[in-house]
Amino acid sequence: MNIKLYAKLAANNLKKNHRTYVPYLLTCIGTVAMFYMMGAIALNDGLSEIRGGDVLRPILNFGIVIIGIFSAIFLFYTNSFLMKRRKKEIGLYNILGMEKRHIAKMLFFEVIYTAIIGLCGGLFLGILASKLMFWLLLKLLAFSVPLAFSVSGISLLITIFVFSGIFFLSLLADFGKITLANPIELLQGGKVGEKEPKTKWLLTLLGFVTLGTGYYIAITTESPLDAVALFFIAVLLVIIGTYCLFTAGSIAILKLLRKQKKFYYRTKHFISVSGMLYRMKQNAVGLANICILSTMVLVMLSSTVSLYIGQEDVLRSRYRKECMLRITAQKEGEEDEVEDLIDRVLDEYELRAVEKEKYHYLSVTLWKGQDGVFSKKGLPTEKMCYLTVIPLKDYNNLYQKEFVLTDKEAILIASYNNTLDTITIGEKTWNFVEKEQHEEFIDKYMAVDAIIFAVNDPYDIKEAFEQLEGDMGWISEQLKYSYGFELDGEKERIIPFETDLKREISSFCEENDINWTIDFREVNREEFFSLYGGLFFLGIFLGSLFLMATVLIIYYKQISEGFDDKERFDIMQKVGMSKIEIKKSIQSQIRMVFFLPLLVAIVHIMFAFPVITKLLYVMNLNNVPLFFVCTVGTILIFAIIYIAVFFITAKEYYRIVK
């Protein structure tokens, strides 16, 4: 036999198995294209020239790694599924006189064809679509400067290298499988091992415990900072729980149902319980995969969409004034000098400062114990708390009030995560005689407990602070001055103004040895857009990759179910079930099997909702209704796609069964 023959045999095999190979090839093309595109964008030189490119690049690099790992696992998994289905065919070749090394040569050509089609098709598609992706990314980031579009040589090389590796590994796995098997085993192929699944109580229990714990963490975590740490633990627990419950839990429940003789021996339950038992054994892992992937798609899209839509909100809560200057003046009159400086630059650009907000403050970090007693000892039971102390005079100015306080009284201006009536530092205690909640004073992104209050003289606090024992805690040396304002005037002048102002303030403060910080909303906007736009882009990208995987798994499940059901369909008819009854029963089972992952994914999302809102909080998004709408919207769209895919692939199923 010569090489040509193997090449021809391999080509024929692919053609003959087109029903399963075409979707596999499409997946290869799809993953290759996505990998190339992500590479082409992330490795583009133009990226470092745009504002916020530095923020964007790590996000995109992360995308490359994720897509690479995911493609490898997924293509490998699909290939082994295809080989399993073809066992009989390969056994036949073996019996007809092909030696294993001949079969290996044939398989080699098959993989070569797959690799060529996948890489050529994928790269071609990738090059075409990367232009579209560039456009989409720039649109999302609201960049005015377009990135230059070109074919990325580096990305081409990396893609070819990575995917050749993946194909080579799957070829090795195929070789391993055929050398280990004997022809009789291969011939019987799918027929072996329809053993009754065992009830694994331990795994079931583990599943309930892990899932329950994961859900519990997700619901009960209050503090956003804890949420960051615990989220991944919760995710891990839920993933473990999902796998355990799909594989062991489903079988345990079905077997319990089967033991209820009165329930089990009813026409409807009889067929479906035993059918489901069999199906769950075959499909549990695949279904758990679908479920996890679906959950990931939903979480990723809903959160990145909310961040993207909500970025204006985020920007406003992060920078509550267009310009926010903070200085620690060393000499009397320096504060006025800085204000004059700002006015001068404003005039230069024909802009006006409005909604001015000026006050002094002292910032203190202490550990909060019970009943509002603060200490410098960071004991485990005590929580870190930021205190911001404002002189009463400034408070009265800010809100046009005329409060008068004694030295033991204070006014609560705002608090985060606190319900205190008094503040005790050392031997001194202040009573809140007035409680207000001015949300704008809380830096939510800090996500640390905070109290903002006014007293007659903030230096009283400093005095008390210094008498405390312990070496933790922190206080600013002297009162700082905060000056914030919005801008009114032509929009185009804002960024040049801000750049210029920063330079002026900088040189003035350096000269006078003044501590200073200044933040501008407009200047930071582009960085924010890069971050959230980049995340959104990645969300869409990975979301569609996972969706593709989900679709493919559903399709293969339908096909393998179809082949298995064909036989049973015939038998049941002979024993006296009508075609309609059989069709109904099978339909309901198939629906149950395929919609179970979607339902579980939605339940996961519902439980994850509270903890994700906390995570978004850390990312400055505090708009729960927006996130809710985005989540519901994503679920709806995803469910529609899922159902559509189901019905399209169900047609294939019915074609096999009939």
Does position 178 interact with another protein (CB under 8 A)? The reply is no
Does position 262 interact with another protein (CB under 8 A)? The reply is yes
Binding mask 29-58 for another protein (x = CB under 8 A): ------------------------------
Q: In angstroms, how far is the first alpha carbon of the chain from the final one? A: 39
**CA 313, CA 319: separation in Å to the nearest integer?**
10
Nearest by Cα to 281 from 560, 655, 94, 522: 560
Given 45, 185, 194, 371, the residue binding another protein (CB under 8 A): 194
Closer to another protein at the Cβ: 313 or 581?
581
Closer to another protein at the Cβ: 268 or 401?
268
* 451: Cα separation from own chain's centroid: 32
* 185: Cα separation from own chain's centroid: 44
Does position 658 interact with another protein (CB under 8 A)? The reply is no
Dihedrals φ, ψ of 224, to 5°?
A: -55, -35
Closer to another protein at the Cβ: 265 or 563?
265
Does position 255 interact with another protein (CB under 8 A)? The reply is no
Given 16, 88, 198, 266, the residue binding another protein (CB under 8 A): 266
Closer to another protein at the Cβ: 139 or 566?
566
Candidate segments 171-179, 263-271, 290-298, 299-307, binder of another protein by CB under 8 A = 263-271
Closer to another protein at the Cβ: 4 or 262?
262
Closer to another protein at the Cβ: 191 or 491?
191
Closer to another protein at the Cβ: 78 or 585?
585
Binding mask 535-574 for another protein (x = CB under 8 A): ---------------------------------x-xxxxx
Closer to another protein at the Cβ: 195 or 658?
195
Beta-bridge partners for 411: 434, 454
Residue that has been written with the tokens 């290996």 in this structure: 104
Structure tokens at 419: 């319900």
Contacts of 187 (CB under 8 A, 6+ apart): 87, 88, 91, 92, 95
Beta-bridge partners for 414: 452
In a 10 Å sphere around its CB, with 0-12 CB exposed, 13-18 middle and 19+ buried, how is residue 557 labelled?
buried
Does position 280 interact with another protein (CB under 8 A)? The reply is no
H helix count then E strand count, the chain: 20, 11
Does position 15 interact with another protein (CB under 8 A)? The reply is no
The CB-of-18 to another protein minimum distance in angstroms stands at 22
Give the count of residues interacting with another protein (CB under 8 A): 25
Does position 253 interact with another protein (CB under 8 A)? The reply is no
Given 275, 458, 533, 597, the residue binding another protein (CB under 8 A): 275
Structure tokens at 60: 């995109």
The CB-of-655 to another protein minimum distance in angstroms stands at 16
Closer to another protein at the Cβ: 331 or 579?
579
- Got the DSSP string for 125-140? HHHHHHHHHHHHHHHH
In the 8-state DSSP scheme, what is residue 379?
-
Structure tokens at 206: 């583990």
Candidate segments 107-115, 130-138, 258-266, 451-459, binder of another protein by CB under 8 A = 258-266
Q: CA-CA distances (angstroms) from residue 357 to 211, 330, 459?
A: 49, 21, 22
- Got the DSSP string for 618-632? HTT---HHHHHHHHH
The CB-of-587 to another protein minimum distance in angstroms stands at 17
- Whether the CA torsion 564, 565, 568, 569 is positive or negative: it is negative
The CB-of-597 to another protein minimum distance in angstroms stands at 22
Give the count of beta carbons closer than 10 Å to the beta carbon of residue 259: 8
In a 10 Å sphere around its CB, with 0-12 CB exposed, 13-18 middle and 19+ buried, how is residue 260 labelled?
exposed
Given 45, 196, 336, 510, the residue binding another protein (CB under 8 A): 196
Candidate segments 33-41, 125-133, 273-281, 295-303, binder of another protein by CB under 8 A = 273-281
Does position 576 interact with another protein (CB under 8 A)? The reply is yes
Given 402, 419, 575, 647, the residue binding another protein (CB under 8 A): 575
In a 10 Å sphere around its CB, with 0-12 CB exposed, 13-18 middle and 19+ buried, how is residue 541 labelled?
buried
- Whether the CA torsion 382, 388, 392, 396 is positive or negative: it is negative
Closer to another protein at the Cβ: 506 or 578?
578
Q: Cα–Cα–Cα angle for 305, 306, 310, nearest 5°?
A: 120
The CB-of-57 to another protein minimum distance in angstroms stands at 54
Give the count of beta carbons closer than 10 Å to the beta carbon of residue 347: 10
Q: Cα–Cα–Cα angle for 208, 214, 216, nearest 5°?
A: 95
Does position 277 interact with another protein (CB under 8 A)? The reply is yes
The CB-of-580 to another protein minimum distance in angstroms stands at 8
Candidate segments 143-151, 206-214, 493-501, 576-584, binder of another protein by CB under 8 A = 576-584
Closer to another protein at the Cβ: 573 or 587?
573
- Residue ranges that bind another protein, judged by CB under 8 A: 194-196, 261-262, 265-267, 270, 274-275, 277-278, 568, 570-579, 581
